[in-house]
Each structure stands twice: as structure tokens, then as C-alpha cells.
């Protein structure tokens, strides 16, 4: 049973979040192990398994990006358990584009960071953050909408587009983490606690 089936939903990306939450609470009350404490051990085990599957399904489907990632793995017949995703490879054109940033990061990590270098890296980080937001908006918006209305013949093209966007998102996230660490800040812009 896939995660969409757990909630009685079709394999669509456009999900009403409030309805999903309502179904989650209804099913949680039905399957929660606390409500099956007096049941025989095999029934308790089934309730525990159903509750775990329900929680995993909710985590995957409540977030639009996680939902896309899950759908791609499901459509490709790959392992769909949490944490089982294969880390996507960044597109070659993105790697070329990021080469300068990676060089600047290596220089900063090797020899320290002066004011000019910090300003340059901070500006590059802001551009990458904006690009990441655009990719996430596309995944949760236009690409997801296209999936829900696509004919079966067009779905392979959309899976490819999802995979490229997810790979770019993952790579940008890694570069942003590296930039934040080099600048001594976390992803959200707060100064990180550094140990000396």
C-alpha cells in the first residue's frame, strides 16, 4: 500500500492540506496503539504497524516537496521508505556554474575570509537562496499542477523535470550550507556558535 492509498487519495500532487490533516487525525484515532492495549498481541502489532505507516505517509505527503520526491520514487518503482532515497546528482551545467563559488569557498576555508570576500560570498548566497525558492515554487506549483492534469504519455517527461529540479535543489542546499558555515551563519542567517 503506497502513502496515497493510506489516505484513500489518488496519486496526485495537488492535495488539500486541511483535508489531509483531517484524514490523518481520523486514521490516527483508529490505529493508534494506545487504543489497542487490551487487544491480543497480533492485533497490537498490526495497530503499531498501521500507525507507523500512517505517520510516515503523513510526513511524506504533507510537505509539497517531499510529496514530489515520494511520487518520483513511487512512479519509478524505487524504494519508497523514509530515508531510502538515492541522492540525486546535480546537473552538469549547474556544477559548472557553481565552480567559482566552490573555489571561493575553498580559498576562504584555507586562508580566512576578509571583508570583501565575505561580502561577495554573502551576495552569492542571497542569489542562490532566491534560486532555491524559485525551484521549490516550481516543484510545488506549476510542475505539480502539470502532473495532475497530464496525460499518461506526458508523465515520463514530468518525472524527468521533477528529478532535475530535485537534484538542483539538493545541490543548492549543500552549497548554501557550505556558504553559511564559511560565513559563520546558519541557513536562516543567524550567527552559528563556533567552537575554538
Yes or no: say if 136 and 102 are a contact pair by the CB < 8 Å rule: no
* pTM passes above 0.85: no
pLDDT for 193 equals: 38
pLDDT for 142 equals: 96
pLDDT for 191 equals: 40
pLDDT for 83 equals: 52
Sign of the four-CA dihedral 68, 140, 19, 26: positive
pLDDT for 129 equals: 94
Classify 185 as helix, strand or coil.
strand
Looking at residue 36, the DSSP 8-state letter turns out to be G
Enter the C-alpha cell of residue 26: 481520523
Beta bridge partners of 191: 185
pLDDT for 128 equals: 92
Classify 64 as helix, strand or coil.
helix
pLDDT for 196 equals: 31
pLDDT for 195 equals: 35
Looking at residue 77, the DSSP 8-state letter turns out to be T
Instruction: List average pLDDT for each run of 10 residues in the chain, which is 196 residues long.
Output: 93 95 92 71 81 93 96 84 58 77 78 76 90 96 95 92 92 89 65 37
Amino acid at each position: 500500500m503506497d502513502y496515497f492509498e493510506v489516505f484513500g487519495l489518488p496519486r496526485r500532487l495537488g492535495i488539500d492540506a486541511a483535508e489531509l490533516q483531517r484524514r490523518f487525525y481520523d486514521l490516527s484515532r483508529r490505529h493508534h496503539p494506545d487504543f489497542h492495549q487490551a487487544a491480543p498481541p497480533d492485533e497490537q502489532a498490526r495497530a503499531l504497524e498501521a500507525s507507523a505507516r500512517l505517520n510516515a505517509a503523513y510526513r511524506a505527503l504533507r510537505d509539497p516537496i517531499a510529496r514530489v520526491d515520494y511520487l518520483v520514487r513511487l512512479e519509478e518503482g524505487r524504494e519508497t521508505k523514509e530515508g531510502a532515497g538515492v541522492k540525486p546528482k546535480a546537473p552538469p551545467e549547474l556544477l559548472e556554474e557553481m565552480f567559482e563559488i566552490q573555489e571561493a569557498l575553498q580559498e576562504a576555508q584555507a586562508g580566512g575570509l576578509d571583508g570583501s570576500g565575505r561580502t561577495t560570498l554573502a551576495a552569492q548566497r542571497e542569489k542562490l537562496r532566491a534560486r532555491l525558492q524559485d525551484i521549490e515554487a516550481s516543484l510545488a506549483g506549476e510542475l505539480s499542477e502539470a502532473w495532475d492534469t497530464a496525460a499518461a504519455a506526458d508523465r515520463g517527461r514530468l518525472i524527468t523535470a521533477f528529478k532535475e529540479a530535485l537534484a538542483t535543489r539538493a545541490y543548492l542546499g549543500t552549497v548554501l550550507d557550505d556558504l553559511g558555515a564559511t560565513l559563520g551563519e546558519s541557513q536562516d542567517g543567524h550567527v552559528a556558535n563556533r567552537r575554538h
